[in-house]
Amino acid sequence: MTDFKKNLINHFKKHPKMEIEDVFKFIYHCAFGCEHMVSDLDTAISKIKDEYNLSPTDDNTLTEELNEKYVRVHLSYLKNGLSAKTLGMLFFLSSKAESEGENAVFKMLLAVKELISDGRLPFSYTEFSQKAEKWESDGFPALHHSEAFRTLYSPKYRVISRAYLPFLPLLAYIDSVNRNRLIIAVDGGSASGKTTLASLIEKIYGASVFHMDDFFLTPEMRTPERLSEIGGNVDRERFEKEILIPLMLGQSVNYRRFDCHSGAFSSPVSVKPSSIVIIEGAYSMHPRLSKYYDFSVFLSIGRDKQRDRILKRNSPSLTKRFFDEWIPLENLYFEKTEIEKRCDLVIDI
């Protein structure tokens, strides 16, 4: 509850005339997100366009913290390049039923009562408790902001999953670019979210995605000389020939995926690339390959978070290989190629 309390207090400092109803709305968004507001994608996008066009916001606030699950994205972000369509898609993708929503509400109501008792929120404890009991008896329905809040602050935002927050600058860039084809490299350490980001862009834009993991070295190529090279444990030559050169020529891409587990190639795959292409994976920004991209992104992840993610999703034997083999090679590649300096955008995960 520490982050919730801090975020609510910050929210109050910015909106000192907020009322108890606005606190309930804050709690509701933390617990349930936006599930009550999304009927279908087209409607969600249309409403964002209408709301923004009828009354463009002058607020420079782009995002607002709720809790570890959700954030509010203000429509002011549309002035920074993000399109109504993309925000609508994020809003739509973030809408889902919360199995523990009511339990979370109870915990947050108790946290607010503690803040009131400590004098950190200027509400009547008795009035807040009575209104909270009424809200509970009604089944914790979604609420509007108070009239005072709407009049003074003119709130215009959408609630999205916090997981999407780091990617907003990249999505705003994509929305603002006008060209026939956009090729973006997404590099970064293991478990930094490269595949997740590529999947999100694929969902939003119908992008074509190619994975560096499909181009690791075949066993006969894993010589001491090759593995001693910086970034040498990926078949960058085949990736350049089968993926990047055809993309630059505007041709269909024909390639075979190499499966490290089976040690065999898949059947040939033919892809007619869309207007947005994502090259995802460590080593995608190798100096030999970087000239092919229009834009590059590096996902930076701290050691502790990286370790936690790898431990959660891998077997002990595979985890050991990550820490003993693959991550040291990645880190050496990042250091020697100065990749964070070369990428157009660094996203801190």
The pLDDT profile of the chain, 349 residues, written as one tens digit per residue, is 778 999 999 999 999 999 999 999 999 999 988 765 666 888 889 999 998 887 666 667 899 999 999 999 999 999 999 999 999 999 988 887 565 688 999 999 999 999 999 999 999 999 999 999 999 999 999 899 999 999 999 899 999 999 999 999 999 999 999 778 999 999 999 999 999 999 999 999 999 999 999 999 999 999 999 988 999 989 999 999 999 999 999 999 999 999 877 888 889 999 999 999 999 999 999 999 999 999 999 999 999 999 999 999 888 888 998 988 889 999 999 999 999 999 999 999 8
- pTM beyond 0.85, yes or no: yes
For the domain made up of 177-348, the CATH class stated in words is: alpha beta
Residues 6+ apart with CB under 8 A from 207: 198, 201, 274, 276, 277, 278
In sequence order, the 6+-apart residues with CB closer than 8 A to the CB of 58 are 76
pLDDT tens for 259-296 read: 877 888 889 999 999 999 999 999 999 999 999 999 99
What are the domain boundaries of the chain? 2-163, 177-348
**Beta strand pairing call for 264-265 and 258-259:** antiparallel
Residue 254: strand pairing partners: 270
**In 3-state terms, what secondary structure has residue 216?**
strand
